[in-house]
């Protein structure tokens, strides 16, 4: 005859199951990873109009709020989704999730930065910033500018916000100087999180190369400073590895100053 104190296999299984359940309840859940931003496209916001901004990064699916540093900014969170990783690129560098935002900045600021923080129910990202306006006249890069014949006209000074939209894409610009000037040309890209490894090439009117700039000032962004006589010049911007896509936005800045005599 079995003793009433001797546990049966069924009782042992029940006891073990209850013990496991209690242990699981006592074990703290792993903390949620905070959202992390790789880059935003475009890198800069014009003032006075609505702009769609795509923020790429990691752990962005749970974001339900975006905090901004200025009270007069209208913001809408449009879409949260997985982000396609461009060909031959690494999701660890360019992000695998994205948010689409609509931001409208009042017309008062001339230039500066707008700081944003992405918030989830449990945690938040570190702050990141978008350039705001420009101290020089600003235009958008217009596609179709892939060669000398299709070069997009710019002035000096000029700020151009654009992107290399695909692998092997080259953006070409043309400008004219009515008098000799010292011209400064720079890209703002990697220093703002862009995957672009910029390569700038300056040409004369006959498309002879005057100067090439790759990595400058401790980044993979480019910088050219050169005295130029009056005339017509071409400028090409491409990725040093012929890559492009949604992770390759840039700001191109062109400034000039009269040469002292």
Q: Judge if 106 and 191 occupy the same domain.
A: no
Residue 46 pLDDT > 80: yes
Q: Judge if 227 and 195 occupy the same domain.
A: yes
Confidence of residue 3 (pLDDT cuts 50, 70, 90): very low
Per the model's pLDDT, the better-predicted residue between 98 and 216 turns out to be: 98
Q: What is the pLDDT of residue 51?
A: 95
Q: Judge if 165 and 106 occupy the same domain.
A: no
- Cβ–Cβ < 8 Å for 118, 60: yes
C-alpha–C-alpha distance, residues 213 and 198, integer Å: 8
- In the chain, pLDDT over 70 holds for what percent of residues? 87
As a whole number of Å, the end-to-end CA separation of the chain is 117
Q: List beta partners, residue 254.
A: 158, 185
Q: Judge if 142 and 253 occupy the same domain.
A: yes
pLDDT average, residue stretch 135-156: 95
Residue 58 pLDDT > 70: yes
Q: Judge if 129 and 149 occupy the same domain.
A: no
Is residue 27 one of the residues assigned to a domain?
no
Q: What is the pLDDT of residue 107?
A: 78
pLDDT average, residue stretch 217-240: 95
Supply the CATH number for residue 47's domain: 2.60.40.10
C-alpha–C-alpha distance, residues 83 and 60, integer Å: 10
Residue 13 pLDDT > 50: no
φ and ψ of 54, to 5 deg: -100, 120
Q: Judge if 110 and 155 occupy the same domain.
A: no
- By CB atoms closer than 10 A (0-12, 13-18, 19+), residue 8 is exposed
Q: What is the pLDDT of residue 4?
A: 47
Q: Judge if 100 and 167 occupy the same domain.
A: no
Residue-number span of the structural domain to which 164 is assigned = 138-258
Q: What is the pLDDT of residue 259?
A: 73
Cis omega (within 30 of 0) on the bond before 42?
yes
On average, the pLDDT of the chain sits at 88
Type and span of the H or E element at 93:
helix 91-94
Q: Judge if 48 and 147 occupy the same domain.
A: no
Cis omega (within 30 of 0) on the bond before 157?
yes
Q: Judge if 165 and 79 occupy the same domain.
A: no
pLDDT average, residue stretch 183-211: 96
Tokens of 84: 């396609």
Confidence of residue 88 (pLDDT cuts 50, 70, 90): confident
pTM: 0.85
C-alpha–C-alpha distance, residues 193 and 130, integer Å: 11
Residue 227 pLDDT > 50: yes
Q: Judge if 175 and 104 occupy the same domain.
A: no
Supply the CATH number for residue 232's domain: 2.60.120.380
Q: Judge if 249 and 143 occupy the same domain.
A: yes
Out of 88-92, 123-127, 181-185, 212-216, which region has the weakest mean confidence (pLDDT)? 88-92
Is residue 217 one of the residues assigned to a domain?
yes
Out of 25-29, 82-86, 97-101, 153-157, which region has the weakest mean confidence (pLDDT)? 25-29
């Amino acid at each position: 005859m079995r003793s009433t104190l001797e546990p049966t296999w069924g009782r042992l299984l029940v006891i073990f199951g209850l013990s496991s359940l209690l242990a699981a309840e006592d074990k703290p859940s792993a903390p949620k990873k905070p959202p992390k931003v790789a880059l935003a496209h475009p890198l800069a916001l014009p003032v006075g109009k609505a702009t769609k901004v795509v923020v790429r990064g990691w752990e962005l699916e749970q974001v339900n709020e975006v905090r901004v540093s200025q009270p007069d900014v209208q913001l809408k969170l449009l879409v949260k989704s997985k982000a396609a990783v461009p060909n031959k690129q690494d999701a660890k560098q360019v992000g695998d999730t994205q948010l689409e935002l609509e931001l409208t900045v009042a017309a008062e600021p001339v230039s500066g930065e707008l700081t944003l923080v992405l918030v989830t129910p449990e945690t938040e990202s570190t702050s990141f910033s978008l350039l705001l306006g420009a101290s020089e006249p600003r235009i958008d890069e217009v596609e179709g500018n892939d060669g000398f014949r299709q070069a997009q006209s710019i002035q000096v000074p000029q700020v151009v916000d654009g992107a290399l939209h695909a692998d092997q894409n080259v953006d070409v610009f043309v400008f004219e100087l009515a008098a000799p000037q010292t011209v400064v040309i720079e890209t703002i890209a990697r220093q703002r999180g862009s995957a672009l490894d910029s390569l700038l090439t300056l040409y004369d009117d006959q498309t002879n190369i005057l100067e090439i700039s790759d990595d400058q000032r401790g980044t993979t962004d480019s910088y050219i400073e050169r005295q130029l006589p009056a005339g017509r010049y071409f400028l090409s911007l491409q990725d040093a590895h012929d890559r492009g896509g949604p992770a390759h936005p840039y700001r191109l800045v062109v400034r000039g100053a009269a040469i002292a005599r």
